Amino acid sequence: MTKSVVSTVDIVAQDEAETLADVGVQIRPDEPQVRSGTYVLRDHLPLCVQTYREGLEMLPIAEALHRYAWLREHYFWKLISPDQDEVTRQIAAESEPQGYFIWVRRGTRITRPAQAGLFIAHEGLAQKLHNVIVLEDDTELHLITGCTTGRAVRSGYHLAVNEAYVGASATLTMTMVHSWGPEVIVRPRAAVAVGDYSHYVNNYVSLRPALDIQSNPRTYLNGVGATAKYMTVILGSRGSIIDTGGEVWLNGEDSGAELVHRGVCTGGKMYQRGFLVGNARCRAHVDCAGMLLDSGEDGFIESVPGLRAFHPEARMSHEASVGKVAPEQVEYLMSRGMEEHEAISMIIRGFLDADIEGLSAELDARIGEIAAMAGHGERK
Amino acid sequence: MSSSTGNILEIHDLHVEVGGKELLHGINLVIPEGQVHALMGPNGSGKTSLMMTIMGFSAYKVTRGQIIFAGRDITGLSVTERARLGIAIAQQRPPTIAGVKLRAVLDYIMAHDSVSSEEIAELVRQARVEDFLDRDINAGLSGGEIKRAELVQLLATCPRFSMMDEPESGVDLDSLALVGSLVNRLFIRDSCRPVRRRSGLIVTHTGHILKYIEADRAHIMLDGRIACSGNPHLILQTVAESGYAACVCCVVEGDGYDKVSS
């Protein structure tokens, strides 16, 4: 447990704390009551690294590599190759890696979420991160990762390599919330290895999409009975290219996966992906649904669910649909007294069906904005 | 025109198009405050279109004519504005909406209308909709369940003017008693002096619902027009005996009931 000398409230500026709160990162006096640990990186500087729970360690990755030789030996660049693509090469070329290391020791089950805030405060800045998470056997962790930019920041780069290792009988829940400036380019490369009877839950929410996002984390379900669940919620907007979803490799006997993607497009290009690879007896399903409220000039939704079976007992399926908000649904709710934008909000909220911890207020606000926009479009 | 006419609804020469095709060809209809009228007629004669037009659904385009509600011209108002004036509809085939629960709609009504959570809970119990409160609205419901789900929403908003599209269709006899009692409640007395109930318009094919709710007057629609109006029992009896064929004949011969019975 890291001793907290000063409260995080004293370190993070008020307006930046508010921006971080919008993406689920709570910087406030009662933080130890709502979070089990906090890591905040501002530009290139780790602002605070604190944990409030025995068995949970959070460190800047450089310090962790220095402290634990086994980290480099067993985990660092072991799921993702530095040569994979331009993004990984750039991160590998950094003289001192930035990012966090999170380690949950055997037998530690933490119900209160830990949080990592990755914050770009300056225009045009490039964050190049390498994050590693290790959950030993019989552990549980919920990590909320909030990535965002300062209010005045329009452009920047968020490049990241994320490697996570989930031992046996363990559960890792990753909730990633992105809310970027309009010209930010976002390239996380993520891979997760999951052991016997363990579960990985991947929630990805992008509220204010950047110029260009590619986020398709890959999960290897190596263990017997391992499962993965992806929930991706994307609110697109004009001028952006958002390519999200993910892939799951079902390598363990009786492994299972469910990938759900919900995208609301108000212009811009949106790709919804979900790819399953069946290497063992397994069950898995991909479900992509898109709502195209306004295609703008050249916007679209492209839904790309895919299945590849290498094993005769791999039972996999997919479904995909794209549609708009149906006027008869909107008017049905209006006939109960709702305003048009209230009806559209309720329908979008239902469509997203997302109940993600600590996010509902910001998500509702964003859905409200989109509904107002969509309602305006209907009337023209 | 003012509400001093005592009419809750007046429809004058209403022409309505759906998808570029005219379905209603000059409807005239007057419903005095406190009256419930029945609307009958063969499939495709325009009964549902008339109700959907009164509610203001945008697929139903008014090309001519006027709808006056409580003395106010509502022809150009949105669905929301009409709902807030006290017009409501229980649709025969309401849309399903993925992820939107009946509970969410009732919560909305509770937050915006004067109905209390205790009253809603009581309505939910009486309408027997507990089991699908947390399911997607109208999804996978039987005929009777849809009626109850629609009626619980109407009862919660306490409308001044309720429209119901075939409340007895797809409802078995046991459930009909429940649906009938809920419909009856919708038109509960709203004033003592003069003794008066709430108003409405009920589409019925069989007339079964009229055992539970007394209609003041009935109208028969044929091919987008009101062909005949009169005493509900007399009209129901005629339809039961000779079907709508007799009405067609009657209209063709230019000897409508309206002339003799009104």
Confidence of residue B240 (pLDDT cuts 50, 70, 90): confident
Task: Say what the pLDDT of residue A363 is.
Answer: 73
User: Nearest CB to A337: which of B55, B80, B91?
Assistant: B80
Task: Say what the pLDDT of residue A379 is.
Answer: 36
Task: Say what the pLDDT of residue B115 is.
Answer: 86
Confidence of residue A377 (pLDDT cuts 50, 70, 90): very low
User: Nearest CB to B157: which of A334, A336, A342?
Assistant: A336
Task: Inform me whether the C-beta atom of residue B18 falls under 8 Å from chain A C-beta atoms.
Answer: no
Q: Say if residues A373 and A266 touch (Cβ distance below 8 Å).
A: yes
What secondary structure, in 3-state letters, does chain A show? CCCCCCCHHHCCCHHHHHHHHHCCCCCCCCHHHHCCEEEEEECCEEEEEEECCCCEEEEEHHHHHHHCHHHHHHHCCCCCCCCCCHHHHHHHCCCCCECEEEEECCCCECCCCEEEEEEECCCCCEEEEEEEEEECCCCEEEEEEEEEECCCCCEEEEEEEEEEEECCCCEEEEEEEEECCCEEEEEEEEEEEECCCCEEEEEEEEEECCCEEEECCEEEECCCCCEEEEEEEEECCCCCEEEECCEEEECCCCEEEEEEEEEEECCCEEEEEEEEEECCCEEEEEEEEEEECCCCCCCEEEEEEEEEECCCCEEEEEEEEEECCCHHHHHHHHCCCCCHHHHHHHHHHHHHCCCCCCCHHHHHHHHHHHHHHHHHHHHC
| Mean pLDDT calculated for residue range A190-204 | 97
| Mean pLDDT calculated for residue range A298-308 | 93
Task: Say what the pLDDT of residue B252 is.
Answer: 61
**B94 contacts A336? CB cut-off 8 A:** no
Q: Residue B191: pLDDT above 70?
A: no
Q: CA–CA separation, A336 vs B95, rounded Å?
A: 13
Task: Say what the pLDDT of residue B249 is.
Answer: 67
Q: Strand pairing partners for B230?
A: B218
**A326 contacts B55? CB cut-off 8 A:** no
User: Nearest CB to B88: which of A335, A350, A352?
Assistant: A335
| Mean pLDDT calculated for residue range A355-379 | 65
A3-17, B1-15, B113-127: least confident range? A3-17
Q: Residue A376: pLDDT above 60?
A: no
Q: Residue A225: pLDDT above 80?
A: yes
Task: Say what the pLDDT of residue A242 is.
Answer: 94
Contact list in A for residue B79 (CB cut-off 8 A) is 331, 334-335
Task: Inform me whether the C-beta atom of residue B194 falls under 8 Å from chain A C-beta atoms.
Answer: no
Choose between A356 and B200: higher pLDDT.
B200
Q: Residue A266: pLDDT above 50?
A: yes
B15-29, B41-55, B236-250: least confident range? B236-250
* B17: closest CA of chain A, how far (Å): 16
Q: Is the ipTM value over 0.95, yes or no?
A: no
Q: Round the average pLDDT of chain B to a whole number and report it.
A: 89
Task: Inform me whether the C-beta atom of residue A312 falls under 8 Å from chain B C-beta atoms.
Answer: no
Task: Say what the pLDDT of residue B13 is.
Answer: 97
B72-101 confidence digits (pLDDT tens): 999 999 999 999 999 999 999 999 998 899
- Identify the residue among B18, B79, B152, B155 best suited for mutation to test binding to A, counting A beta carbons within 10 A and taking the highest: B79
pLDDT > 90: what percent of chain A?
72
pLDDT > 70: what percent of chain A?
94
Confidence of residue B261 (pLDDT cuts 50, 70, 90): very low
| Mean pLDDT calculated for residue range A42-55 | 92
**A327 contacts B105? CB cut-off 8 A:** no
| Mean pLDDT calculated for residue range A146-150 | 93
pTM of the model: 0.83
A173-177, A286-290, B1-5, B7-11: least confident range? B1-5
Confidence of residue B262 (pLDDT cuts 50, 70, 90): very low
| Mean pLDDT calculated for residue range A187-193 | 97
Task: Inform me whether the C-beta atom of residue B199 falls under 8 Å from chain A C-beta atoms.
Answer: no
User: Nearest CB to A350: which of B59, B94, B97?
Assistant: B97
A12-16, A112-116, B103-107, B231-235: least confident range? A12-16
A257-261, A283-287, B119-123, B196-200: least confident range? B196-200
**A335 contacts B58? CB cut-off 8 A:** no
Q: CA–CA separation, A190 vs A217, rounded Å?
A: 5
Q: Residue A371: pLDDT above 80?
A: no
| Mean pLDDT calculated for residue range A2-10 | 60
* B100: closest CA of chain A, how far (Å): 5
Task: Inform me whether the C-beta atom of residue B262 falls under 8 Å from chain A C-beta atoms.
Answer: no
Task: Say what the pLDDT of residue A67 is.
Answer: 97
Confidence of residue B174 (pLDDT cuts 50, 70, 90): confident
Task: Say what the pLDDT of residue A308 is.
Answer: 97
